[in-house]
A and B are shown apart, each in its own frame.
Chain A
Amino acid sequence: GAVVSQHPSRVICKSGTSVKIECRSLDFQATTMFWYRQFPKKSLMLMATSNEGSKATYEQGVEKDKFLINHASLTLSTLTVTSAHPEDSSFYICSARDQDGRRLDEQYFGPGTRLTVT
């Protein structure tokens, strides 16, 4: 199956700092990537849809100025959590769709990034 990587896998930062998370599709091109957040024992919540070469589409209630998304190439999307606070501590997961040759409805997930803000 298609491979998606995320970096870092785990990060601890201080309140007020910014953290960048990278999501890469390793063996396919992804014009669309998705960013999810998951709190303990809760389901994945879609934060935003990242489109290569254009602005991301944010879900209702997600602050676009706080969660900056950049999808500069067909294999890389980044999520920057700006001015992080302890309540931003969560498991952030990206996924990608392969637009060439595979089903458009299947998503390939990255391994996730566990963010802890102290």
Chain B
Amino acid sequence: RKEVEQDPGPFNVPEGATVAFNCTYSNSASQSFFWYRQDCRKEPKLLMSVYSSGNEDGRFTAQLNRASQYISLLIRDSKLSDSATYLCVVYTGGFKTIFGAGTRLFVKA
């Protein structure tokens, strides 16, 4: 089993739609969680940090369920500019950060 697993995607949604991505992690001692966004041929950029049960920033909501070892990212009112790959990232302490394989999102007009 992979340490961090994400929905395979790609997700193809129309503008204005709500889309949710899921991520599971295997290490119960994981300390903190992040969602990064990566555009094609660019570096990952931090979208949201999730330290407690959840976090909301505008159209983006991240939720954490430690009991189920599950993190989600919800995007409301999708924009064309939201098209990217979304990476689930788990920090397990020390220097150990694990990246998920990413979920590709395409938002279409």
Contacts and interface: CB of A to CB of B under 8 A. Distances in A.
Interface string B36-66: 0000011111100100000000000000000
Interface residues of B, number: 18
B100 A91 contact: no
A65 interface: no
Nearest to B93: A105
B97 A107 contact: yes
Contacts of B31: 105
A43 B91 contact: no
Contacts of A111: 42-43
Given A105-B31, A105-B32, A105-B97, A44 B44 contact: yes
SS class, residues of chain A in contact with chain B: loop
A49 B95 contact: yes
Contacts of A114: 41
Majority-rule SS of B interface residues: strand
A32 interface: yes
A115 interface: no
Contact of A112 (B43, B49, B91, B101): B43
A28 B91 CA distance: 21
B32 A44 contact: no
B23 interface: no
Contacts of B49: 103, 106
Interface of A: 1, 32, 34, 42-44, 46, 49, 57, 91, 93, 103, 105-107, 109-112, 114
CB-CB nearest 4 A-B residue pairs = A105-B91, A109-B43, A43-B101, A105-B32
